[in-house]
Chains A and B, each alone.
Chain A
Amino acid sequence: MNCEEIKIGLHDFVDELSDGFMKREIEVHLRTCDKCFNEYKKIKNFFEKLKDLANTVEPPEGIIQAFSSKLLERSIKEDLKEKTVSDPEKIKQEQINLERGAREARGAFRKNALSTSLMASRISKPNSPSSRINWSKIILILLPFVLLATAYIVYDLQKNNSPWKIKTAEGMIFINGKANNTGTISEGESLLSSDSSKAEILIPRSGSIVVDQNTAIILEKAKDGDNRIKLEKGFVTIKNISEESDFTIDLKNCSVSDRSGEITVSVDESENAKISVNFGFTEISYNNESYFLNERYVCDIMDGKKPGTPYSSDAPDTLMKEIKNFDYNNGGENSVDNITSMARKSDMLTLLAIIPRSSSLKRVTLFQTITNHFPPPANVTRRGIMKADKKMLHLWWEEIKEQLKFISDHK
């Protein structure tokens, strides 16, 4: 496809009207062609500017008076019977709601097509195609694979479960920037709630998402075994009842996977995220590293940085504060000492998570403190822990997790 065709196609692309083939062509082309990528950036910039456009134009005074006198003069008698009283406070509030709706609608519009993922993926350029080959031979060889692949694709397609139903929605919610009126959200669409609306989305065969006020999510993938949303801001609770399939929430620079459990995730204005696990198993992926989060534990992630040290959801404020110092304010050895002295039995997973992040000197005390509550299981040695051996840390983590569960189950 040449640049001229791409240039025309870009508009459908940002409007999300391109078919799958065109969409892929454009994505591939944009990665390699600076000229068209610039065009794309210009369109993107145009929509940014459009977003900043005043929501409303100030109407001249007196329209309402002009209208009401027109209306009232139609029959004054009837009017005398009216007893309802206007509530200026409520009217004001409704005006604000409407206006905010308009702004958010414009903001969420095309968010998906203009995502930054394209920008990021542009760095890796595909190689140029190789020379001529004997096609008929290759086709024969490939035929069985193609058949298998087709069968797999058919099998895979039936796993798609878009759209998802929205069960309850208080107030106004916006699907893809439009006030909702279908009651469903499809793959690729965004959902936005205002400060007076809430929604519950049913995930087919898996569970549900409760969307709180002022929340923006994008349904990135609706497929059994790989359901995935992006949380832009706000507060969601995920209940995943499916045993085998993960539910993934993408956040800035990291993603959170939940398997048969219940977690709440929030993102505030400064893009700080908080993940709390009510029950079940949760894994946070950041930079190809996995961080495990036990039930009744919480993890803070500041502005897309490395996930913070997990802490127990009932941890005292002083402990939480010290963990923040350690994670983000260079608290260093001092913080490790304070955390160690404050930690209760249920905080041992916090200490375990600190081990790879602390100096070898502190690892000695940490090892000792954890051992006092939960002796290391077989195959976990002091030496390995001193070296912050990943496998051993994980084994120990599993052991403590089981014991903590046992304790809480028998309370």
Chain B
Amino acid sequence: MTVDNTNYVEYLIGLSKGGRKRSFIDLCEINLRNVYTIAYRLLSDAEEAQKVTIHTFIKSWERIKEYNEKILFSIWMKNTAIEYSISMLSNRDANYSKKKRPIKISSEQEFLESHILSLPQEERIIIILHDIEGYSYKEIHNFFEGLELDEIRSKLINTREYLINKLTV
């Protein structure tokens, strides 16, 4: 079973596999927001999100020949971004401080977004991947091997309760 990338994306992938860098850059441009957003939300840090985005593009280029149509290209790239974001998070040294936080709260959405961004790492990753991006417990476990399914579930429930609380207050 193949999934449906649009014809244009399919065409760009074909050229990229043949070594055409320009076409691959076009693919990156298409997926830029997609990749940057997930990295930004997971890391809660604009500068690191930029690093992860570029890193994701580079790695995707190196592995483009391994890409197959079993999975949407946008999801394939996003998965790479998630892997790098998580490894970046776990490599943050103890004295990493949240230097700059370019979050301005001007609406209710941003209110919720800012609460999500200021959650502890694991909780943040779980709620973003499960509730915003639609990944299953199993898939989250694959990204995040330290956590068992039960832990993911209970952390998710606690986080939701916490955020629901924030919204009702």
Measured between C-beta atoms, what is the minimum distance from B29 to chain A in Å? 5
Q: Are B72 and A172 in contact (CB under 8 A)?
A: yes
The listed residue (A52, A90, A179, A183) touching B72 by CB distance below 8 A is: A179
Contact between chains at B134 and A178 (CB < 8 Å):
yes
Q: Across the interface, name the chain A residue whose C-beta is closest to B5.
A: A172
B117-169 with Cβ < 8 A to chain A: 131-132, 134, 153, 156-157, 160, 163-164, 167-168
A243 surroundings in chain B (CB, below 8 A): none
Which residue of B6, B58, B156 is within 8 Å of A172 (Cβ)? B6
- Inter-subunit contact B21/A56 (CB<8 Å): no
Q: Tell whether A43 pairs with B33 under 8 Å between CB atoms, given A172-B6, A173-B4.
A: no
Task: Check B112 against A49 for contact (C-beta < 8 Å).
Answer: yes
Give bound CA distance, A54 to B113, whole Å.
9
Q: How far is the CB of A384 from chain B (nearest CB, A)?
A: 57
A95 touches B30 (CB 8 A): yes
Query: Given that A8-B157, A57-B40 are contacting pairs, would A91 and B30 also be in contact in the complex, using a CB cutoff of 8 Å?
Result: yes
Q: How large is the interface on A (under 10, 10 to 19, 20 to 34, 35 or more residues)?
A: 35 or more
Which residues of A have CB within 8 Å of B53? 59, 63, 67
Please indicate the chain A residues that have their CB under 8 angstroms from the CB of B6 in the complex: 94, 97, 171-172, 196
Contacts of A196 in B (CB 8 A): 6
Does the CB pair B21–A46 fall under 8 Å? no
Assembly CA distance A67 to B50 (angstroms) = 10
> CA separation between A55 and B113, bound complex, in Å?
11
Q: Which residues of B contact A56 (CB under 8 A)?
A: 33-34, 36-37
Chain A positions 164-184 with a Cβ under 8 Å from a chain B Cβ: 169-173, 177-183
B9 in the interface, Cβ–Cβ < 8 Å? yes
Instruction: Choose from B32, B36, B113, B157 the contact partner of A11 (Cβ within 8 Å).
Output: B157
A102 nearest CB neighbor, chain B only: B34
Q: Are A50 and B21 in contact (CB under 8 A)?
A: no
- Let me know if A105 is at the binding interface, CB within 8 A: yes
A97→B24 CA distance, assembly (Å): 18
Q: Which of A63, A79, A90, A181 is B70 in contact with, Cβ under 8 Å?
A: A181
Residue of A nearest to B71 (CB): A181
Bound: A134/B19 CA distance, A: 80
- What is the 8 Å Cβ interface bit string for chain A, positions 85-108, against chain B (1 contact, 0 not)? 111001101110111011001100
In the assembled complex, B25 has its CB within 8 A of some CB on chain A:
yes
Contact A94 B22 (CB under 8 A): no
Interface set, chain B 8-32, CB cutoff 8 A to A: 8-9, 15, 19-26, 28-32
CB contact list, B34-74 vs A, under 8 A: 34, 36-37, 40-41, 46, 49-50, 53-54, 57-58, 61, 70-72, 74
Measured in the bound complex, the distance between the Cα atoms of B71 and A43 in whole Å is 31
Number of interface residues, chain B, beta carbon within 8 A: 56
Bound together, the chains give a CA A43 to CA B167 distance in angstroms of: 10
Which B residues are in CB contact (< 8 Å) with A93? 8
The smallest C-beta distance from B108 to any residue of chain A, in angstroms, reads: 7
Closest to B130 in A: A15
Contacts of B153 in A (CB 8 A): 11
B105 within 8 A of A: no
Complexed CA–CA distance, A11 and B9 (Å): 37
Segment at the B interface, from A68-76, A291-299, A324-332: A68-76
In contact, B167 and A86 (Cβ under 8 angstroms): no
Query: A67 contacts B54, CB within 8 Å?
Result: yes
Whether B167 and A49, one on each chain, are in contact in the complex, defined by CB atoms closer than 8 angstroms, is: yes
Pairwise interchain contact A98-B34, C-beta atoms closer than 8 A: yes
A159 an interface residue at 8 Å Cβ cutoff?
no
Q: How far is the CA of A318 from the CA of B5 in the complex (A)?
A: 45
Interface centre among B26, B36, B49, B70 (most CB of A within 10 A): B26
- Please name 23 pairs of A and B residues whose Cβ atoms are closer than 8 Å in the assembled complex, sorted by A: A11-B160, A42-B164, A45-B164, A52-B108, A53-B113, A57-B40, A59-B40, A63-B36, A64-B25, A64-B28, A64-B29, A64-B32, A71-B58, A79-B21, A79-B22, A82-B21, A84-B20, A84-B23, A90-B8, A98-B31, A98-B34, A169-B4, A181-B1
**Extra pairs beyond A56-B37, A180-B4 (4, CB < 8 Å):** A84-B15, A98-B34, A173-B4, A179-B72
